[in-house]
Chains A and B, each alone.
Chain A
Amino acid sequence: QVQLVQSGAEVKKPGASVKVSCKASGNIFTSNEISWVRQAAGQGFEWMGWMNPNSGNTGYAQKFQGRVTMTRNTSISTAYMELSSLTSEDTAVYYCARGGKTPGDYWGQGTLVTVSS
């Protein structure tokens, strides 16, 4: 069964970092890029960037440059997204999705990240 399973909800203080994982099953991990998208409550979707799981090459939205890092561990078919210098505006549900050059066809269940003092 093809699926992406993300790590659980996180609560962080302003200025901290968060690292969200996305584990792929069903032999899809290296078949396409992995993208990360977030959605704040009541807001639309915001694309953060993508990573090629084979090469590790990444592309980030300019808004997140310098604050986001996307990595992977191919031995366990897991992608990671780390976001640093968190503020309350980073409170959102974060999704991983298979797809980069093409639209996301498989999505993780989402990870709620709450930034609060």
Chain B
Amino acid sequence: DIVMTQSPDSLAVSLGERATINCKSRQSLLYSSNNKNYLAWYQHKPGQPPKLLIYWASTRESGVPDRFSGSGSGTDFTLTISSLQAEDVAIYYCQQYFTTPRTFGQGTKVEIK
């Protein structure tokens, strides 16, 4: 199974400031035939299902605010919230869909400082 490791486990950011979450995969998620990274980011709030934010490592899902961006390739990826809003308080997860079983990072809890 591909192990996904996120850092940090939690972070507190002031409103309007930048939040950065890292995700590292034990093996490359870059498929050479199409040059795509099989990496997604989700936002999860209590009592709700996860919400897809980013796929192909950097493509924003429809309707997701542009303060959310994804970057990285191969084994190292980053989710950035450029200007943290109160409604962004949540746990964020990366997930690889390069192979089965699909695996998730352990999550990063984002709070307001």
Contact = CB atoms under 8 A, between A and B. Distances in A.
Interface of A: 35, 44-47, 49, 59, 61-63, 95, 97, 101-105, 107-110
Given A102-B55, A103-B40, A103-B95, A61 B100 contact: yes
B50 A44 contact: no
B97 A45 contact: no
A103 B106 contact: no
Contact of A44 (B40, B55, B107): B107
B42 to A, nearest CB: 8
Given A61-B101, A103-B95, A45 B55 contact: no
B107 A95 contact: no
Chain B contact patch, size range: 20 to 34
A101 B97 contact: yes
Given A45-B95, A102-B55, A103-B55, A95 B49 contact: yes
Contact of B101 (A47, A104, A107): A47
